[in-house]
């Protein structure tokens, strides 16, 4: 039997995109030699301004960075991209490794055209209307002709959070509460700025923000992390999965760490240049926490019975698992009826290119299994 052919279009070649392409190359070699082989064909590569596409002819994994850099083909608008990809004769998966709102808003159209989506982006799952349109168009909910969509890395990077919650809910358990640290950036910032005793010396908050950006943990614009909205987007996704009907990430209490005076700072670079002026304000949080025998951390909470979602700074005793997190680790405690008072806990790196790309690659595998 000839191998089954599946086409892949990768949008976004930054930190996550680059790691994904490398994992895709490894996966395609493995699947090509499997007992029932599949040819995973990379047919389109795009970044913000330019793309590589040659009428569905497979692109080479070798030297793609320089080939893409020298391309003169502009990246089409998301709706033109959907029309282009819908001409594929073989099943096609669009992998969105951008944080483009415009592309995210086009997911319902993309799915309606039978194109599958694997994504690390949270942007499509914020507004209730787009969320509902995605549910209506996707094959996950049995809609004939629609594409499948998976987005494990949109919450906790590659950590199996969405998969686990789907398993709990689909097998009839009821989630009552979800709590924890949902941002790799926030985790890194507070673990670096106010480590627990014995875990090193704290660094100024602004220096930690710069380091988180250099390590690839932050959103393309780190203000999207510091304003709490990245955590709010993740909680919006989780809340909807467990039956709390959230309107949007701005419809509940979200504590921003952006100083008032910098709310209208122009570019991300200007913002980062002025941030050290406000290190004193963050130091005050540290001093208060220390006086109470604890450390300050940024957490998220969903209370299903109360229908309440919150993102805020809280003080934790130094022996609390949230206080003792390391690096960019997330910790997510899921309370359910079956698990009772002892929650199911998921912990590990919640940001970083490789671990995020792993979740996206696993989503591609989920789609391949669903297509069987
Ligand atoms: N970094 C992490 O740890 C995690 C990231 N994510 C999510 O993964 C996504 C990517 O993050 P990351 O790789 O860190 O970000 P980067 O800033 O490193 O990369 C973003 C990429 O998207 C491209 N891009 C932006 N807008 C468009 C557009 N309209 N059309 C086509 N391409 C576009 C950029 O193009 P160009 O190269 O031309 O600028 C760039 O290649 C985000 O949605 C983020 O929230 C999720 C979990 C963890
Ligand atoms: N900026 C995000 C990336 C992953 O979602 C984070 O820091 O958690
Ligand atoms: Na995840």
Domains of the chain and any CATH numbers: 5-157+354-371 (3.40.50.720), 162-350 (3.30.360.10)
Distance of CA 88 to the CA centre of its chain: 27
Mind giving me the DSSP string for 300-361? EEEETTTTEEEEEEEEEETTSTTTT--TTEEEEEEEETTTTTS-EEEEEE---HHHHHHHHH
For residue 177, the surrounding DSSP H or E stretch is: strand 175-181
306 is catalytic: no
C-alpha 7 – ligand 1 centre gap (Å): 21
Q: Is 180 helix (H, G, I), strand (E, B) or coil?
A: strand
Residue 71, token pair as written in the block = 């391309």
User: Inter-axis angle of helices 15-32 and 353-371, to 10 degrees?
Assistant: 40
Ligand 2 pocket test, candidate residues 230, 235, 354, most atoms within 8 A of CB: 230
Question: What is the model's pTM?
Answer: 0.97
Q: What is the pLDDT of residues 309-334, one digit of tens each?
A: 999 999 999 999 999 999 999 999 99
Q: How far apart are CA 297 and CA 224, in angstroms?
A: 17
| Annotated active-site residue in 234, 301, 317, 326 | 234
Is 180 part of any known ligand binding site?
Answer: no
Nearest Cα to 138, choosing from 357, 292, 316, 363?
Answer: 363
ipTM comes to 0.99
Read off the pLDDT band of 142 (50, 70, 90): confident
Nearest atom in ligand 2 to 218's CA: 1
3-state helix, strand, coil in the chain (%, to 5): 40, 20, 40
Instruction: Tell which phi-psi region holds residue 216, choosing left (phi > 0), alpha (psi between -120 and 50) or beta.
Output: left
Nearest atom in ligand 2 to 212's CA: 7
pLDDT of residue 187: 98
Q: How far apart are CA 56 and CA 58, in angstroms?
A: 6
Any residues with CB less than 8 A from the CB of 25 and at least 6 apart, and which? 61
Q: What is the pLDDT of residues 51-67, one digit of tens each?
A: 999 999 999 999 999 99
pLDDT of residue 1: 80
Residue 184, ligand 2, Cβ within 6 A: yes
Residue 322, token pair as written in the block = 């949230």
Q: What is the DSSP letter of 215?
A: T
pLDDT of residue 144: 86
pLDDT of residue 159: 98
């Amino acid at each position: 039997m000839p191998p089954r052919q599946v086409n892949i279009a990768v949008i976004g070649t930054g930190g996550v995109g680059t790691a994904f392409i490398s994992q895709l190359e490894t996966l395609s070699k493995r699947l090509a030699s499997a007992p029932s082989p599949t040819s995973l064909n990379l047919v389109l590569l795009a970044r913000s301004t330019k793309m590589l596409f040659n009428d569905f002819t497979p692109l080479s994994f070798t030297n793609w960075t320089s080939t893409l850099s020298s391309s003169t083909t502009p990246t089409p608008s998301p709706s033109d991209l959907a029309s282009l990809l819908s001409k594929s004769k073989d099943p096609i998966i669009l992998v969105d490794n951008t944080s483009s709102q415009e592309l995210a808003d086009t997911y319902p159209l993309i799915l309606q055209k039978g194109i599958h989506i694997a994504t690390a982006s949270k942007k499509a799952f914020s507004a209730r209307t787009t969320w509902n349109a995605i549910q209506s168009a996707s094959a996950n909910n049995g809609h004939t002709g629609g594409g499948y969509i998976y987005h494990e890395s949109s919450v906790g990077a590659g950590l199996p959070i969405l998969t686990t919650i789907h398993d709990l809910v689909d097998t009839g358990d009821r989630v009552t509460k979800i709590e924890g640290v949902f941002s790799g950036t926030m985790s890194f910032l507070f673990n670096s700025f106010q480590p627990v005793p014995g875990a090193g010396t704290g660094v100024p908050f602004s220096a930690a923000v710069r380091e988180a950006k250099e390590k690839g943990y932050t959103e393309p614009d780190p203000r999207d992390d510091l304003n709490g909205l990245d955590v709010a987007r993740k909680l919006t996704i989780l809340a909807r999965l467990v039956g709390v009907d959230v309107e949007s990430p701005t419809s509940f209490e979200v504590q921003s760490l952006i100083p008032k005076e910098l709310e209208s700072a122009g570019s991300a670079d200007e913002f980062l240049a002025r941030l050290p002026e406000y290190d004193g304000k963050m130091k005050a949080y540290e001093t208060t926490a220390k006086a109470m025998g604890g450390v300050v951390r940024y957490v998220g909470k969903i209370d299903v019975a109360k229908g309440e979602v919150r993102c805020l700074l809280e003080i934790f005793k130094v022996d609390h698992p949230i206080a003792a997190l390391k690096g960019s680790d997330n910790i997510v405690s899921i309370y359910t009826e079956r698990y009772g008072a002892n929650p199911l806990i998921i912990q590990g790196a919640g940001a970083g290119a490789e671990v995020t790309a792993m979740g996206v690659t696993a989503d591609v595998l989920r789609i391949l299994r669903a297509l069987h």
